[in-house]
Amino acid sequence: MENGESLRLKLLIVDDEPGMREGAARCLRNLSFKETDFPEKITFDIYMAETGQAALKEISENSPDIVLLDYKLPDMNGLEVLQNCDSSGFLTIVITAFASLDVAITATRKGAFDFLAKPFSPDELREAVKKAAKNIFMSRKVRQLQEEKSRIRFEFVSVLAHELKSPLAAIEGYLHLIDERVKGDELASYDSMIKRSVDRIASMRKLINDILDLTRLESGKKKRLIEKIDPGETALYVYEGLALKAQERKIKFELLYPEKFAFGADRGEMETLFSNLLSNAVKYNREGGEIKLKIEKKGDFMEISCSDTGIGISREDQKRLFGEFVRIKNEHTRNIEGSGLGLSILKKLASLYGGEIKVSSEYGKGSIFIVTLKEQAAAVQNASAA
Buried b (16+ CB within 10 A) or exposed e, 185-203: eeeeebeebeeebeebeeb
pLDDT for 386 beyond 50: no
Longest dimension (CA), the chain: 99
pLDDT for 174 beyond 50: yes
Residues 366, 309: contact at Cβ < 8 Å? yes
- pLDDT (0 to 100) of residue 306: 94
- pLDDT (0 to 100) of residue 276: 85
Helix (H, G, I), strand (E, B) or coil at 292: strand
Gap between the Cα atoms of 343 and 329, Å rounded: 15
- pLDDT (0 to 100) of residue 242: 86
pLDDT for 293 beyond 90: yes
- pLDDT (0 to 100) of residue 164: 74
121-125, 187-191, 196-200: range with lowest mean pLDDT = 196-200
- pLDDT (0 to 100) of residue 27: 87
Length of the chain equals 386
Residues 241, 352: contact at Cβ < 8 Å? no
Closest to 16 in 3D by CA, of 65, 45, 53: 53
- Express as a percent the part of the chain with pLDDT over 90: 26
* Cα–Cα distances in angstroms (integers) from residue 6 to residues 1, 2, 41, in the given order: 8, 9, 5
Residues 302, 357: contact at Cβ < 8 Å? no
Between 103 and 125, the higher pLDDT residue:
125
290: confidence class by pLDDT, cuts 50, 70, 90? very high
Gap between the Cα atoms of 87 and 64, Å rounded: 10
Average pLDDT over residues 103-115: 77
Cis omega (within 30 of 0) for bond into 74 = no
Domains detected in the chain: 6-145 (3.40.50.2300), 223-385 (3.30.565.10)
Between 98 and 180, the higher pLDDT residue:
180
